Structure formats: structure tokens, C-alpha cells
Chains A and B, each alone.
Chain A
Amino acid sequence: MRSRSEARSRREAVVPARCMRSLWIAATLATAALVAAPTLTYAAEMPTFTVVLKEGRLHPATLEVPANTRFKIVIRNDGPGPAELESRSLRKEKVLAPGATSFVVVAPQKPGEHDMFDEFHPDTGQGRIVVK
């Protein structure tokens, strides 16, 4: 009697797990398909800007970027310590060890102004991004 009820409870436990796995797979595939489709259509070159973080300051402190266009910010940390370039309103952040380089790609924006600062050096490392 006991073994039968155990077998049943095990079967009950297995079926939902399998269901869940297929749900997850379906969701992943759907997300991939939906989001990959637009990616393939415009993988063109985009305007690129460079910001260098050095001694707690941003160089340049102001970036002027074109409106309604995707753009890329290449970020380099010239040290001496770790730094983090962040823009709260654009929701981008990048932590970099000294000597490291990385980038973020930003979606098309309307004309306006966004913040940009070094979160590890907020006293000196303030800047802005002007979209026009």
C-alpha cells in the first residue's frame, strides 16, 4: 500500500516538472524569436563615442549624441582605481577595473539631456549626455 502511494506521489511530482520545463523552453524560444527578429534587420554601423575615466573624472564630461539613432559609448578606465560609468536616466552602468575597456549600446532617444557620472567617484566624476 505504502509503495503504491509513494509511486503515485512521485509521478505527481514528475509530471509538473516536465510541464514546467516545456513552459520554460517555450518562453525562452518565444523571447528569442521576438527579440532577435528586429536585431537582424538593423545591424548597421552606429555612431560611436568614447568616454575615458581617469583619476575620478570623465573625459569628455559632455557627450553630444544624435537624436533618434542608436549609439555606442566605448568606456575606458585609465585608473588608478576601479570606476563605474553610470547613467541613471538611460539605465546603463559599467564597472571597469583600471586598464579595462568596454562599451554600452544605447537605444534611440528623443532630444534632451541625460545624466552620466562615475559612481565610484561621484564628487568629481560628473558629466552629461546631450541628445540633439
Chain B
Amino acid sequence: MGSALIIVWRESVEAILVVGILYAWLKANDARAGMRSLMWGVAGGVGVAFAFGAVMLAIQSQLAVQTVEWMQTAIVFVAAVLIVQMVLWMREHGRRLKGELESGAADALRTGNLARIAVLAAVAVGREGAETVLFLYGLMVESSGAQLAQVTAGAALGLALALATFWLLSNGVRWMSWRLFFRVSEALLLLFASALLVGGVDRLTAADVLAAGAGPQWDTTWLLDDTRGVGNVVSQFAAYRARPDVAELTAWALYWLVVFAWIWRGRILGLFARGATSRG
């Protein structure tokens, strides 16, 4: 019962982070169409999770197994890109969206963005969902009678815990100012996208597609152990590695370089312009 509870809750925290922030954001902006696409996305994600689980159980050949693993790796990168796009879009439109909606000129939430919200929610839910489906299926196959009832209860409790977490997060906006919520969720999402990216690179090195270089470059396990407790959470949501390899470090550095270049592009372009005028 304990492990079913923990797995269901833990695997859904990621999805809750993404869906919860989108939910709070759409609600605060009173964007009903966006809310509908969010719901469809979540439902689609649950479907994707079951489909992946069923496919993984059905296939045996090494080629088919590797094909599914490739799709899962691709989804990790797609998720990272979608989240960064979402944050950048929120930065562009977040502060004035409310005003635009009220004045009736709401073209910020056009169909393209609605689809993006749905896809992002589906990816967030479906990604880790497949593993949960397989795990629960295994528990149910291998246990019977009273044990089976316990597993089911554990899974149900895990889901309830996940929903409670979702409620806490999506209502968090009430206890802090909109501006602060905006900043916090933006930072959380950008960190999470970096974790997805580095995790995707890990998958590529494990699949022998990328070389990890000469192994771990340093070891900060003594400071913060990434295999347990806080360190584990930081590694899962912010790409912390106690023993990073070259591929992980490269991906991480390039990610933040691109993100900050984008965020500060106005300032950077301004510097260039000033340089040009002072020379001229």
C-alpha cells in the first residue's frame, strides 16, 4: 500500500507543477477557452499514459522496446521546449493579458496557443503516467485478495494526495501577490525545463547516442546528495547533479545561456546599439 501511494503521488508531482501553474494563471486571467484546452490536455495525457503502458506490455522485441524508449526520450525534449515557450509567452503577454481581455481585444489566446496549452498538459501528465500505469499493473498482477485491496487503496490515496497538492499550488496565488506568483512560477518552470533537458541528455548517454565524456567531473555528494531527500528533489526539479558528466554540464550551460540571452535580449541589443552609436 505504501509504495503504491508514494509512486502515484511522486510521479504526479511533475504534472501537478505544470498543470497547476497553468490553471492558476488561466483562472486569474479568466481565460475560459484556455481552461477548456487545459482539461482536454489532462484527459489526453491520461489516455497517453495508458496507451504507452499497454504498448510497453504488448511488445517484446528489442527493436520495438527501443522504439518506445526513443519516443519517451523525444517527449522529454518536447516537454522542455514547450515549457520554455510557455514561460516566454507568459512573459510577453502575462502582464497585459487581463487588460486585453477586459477591453475585448483578446487575441493573445488564439487557437495556436490553446492547442499549445492542451499539448503541454498532455505531455506533462502522460510522460510519467506510463510508468505509474506499469507499476500499478505489476502490483495488481503480483498480489491478490486483501493485498490487492491495499494496493488499490494506496493508489487512490496517492491520487487524493496529488489532488490536494494541486489545490494547494493552484490556490497559492491567493496568498501571494499576482506579481510574486508570476515570478515564482516562471522560475520554477524554467528550472524544471532545465531538469527535463538534462534528464533527456542522461537518457541519450545511457542509450549510447551521446558520450558522457570521461565520467563525473567532480563530486559534491558531501555537500548535497542527489540520490536522497532534498538533493533528490533539487535534481528532479532543477537539474542538480552531485557528480555531473561533460554532456550534462554542456546541456545545462547552453540551456541557461539561451534562456538568459532571450530574457535580456532587449538589454543586450541595447548595449550593441550604444556601442555602434558611440563608435559612429
Query: Which A residues are within 8 Å of any B CB, using their own CB?
Result: 13, 16, 19-20, 23-24, 26-27, 30-31, 34-36, 38-39, 42, 56, 68, 72, 80-84, 88-89, 91-92, 95-110, 115, 120, 122
Contact = CB atoms under 8 A, between A and B. Distances in A.
B261 interface: yes
Contacts of B214: 107-108
Given A81-B142, A95-B134, A31 B250 contact: yes
B205 A30 contact: no
Interface stretch (B30-38, B39-47, B55-63, B171-179): B55-63
Contacts of A35: 201, 210-211, 247, 250-251
11 contacts: A13-B92, A23-B261, A27-B255, A30-B254, A35-B210, A35-B211, A68-B215, A81-B137, A84-B135, A88-B232, A100-B65
Nearest to A102: B65
A16 B89 CA distance: 10
B81 interface: yes
B261 A105 contact: no
B59 A100 contact: yes
B92 A38 contact: no
Nearest to A32: B210
B3 interface: yes
B225 to A, nearest CB: 9
B215 A108 contact: yes
B57 A82 contact: yes
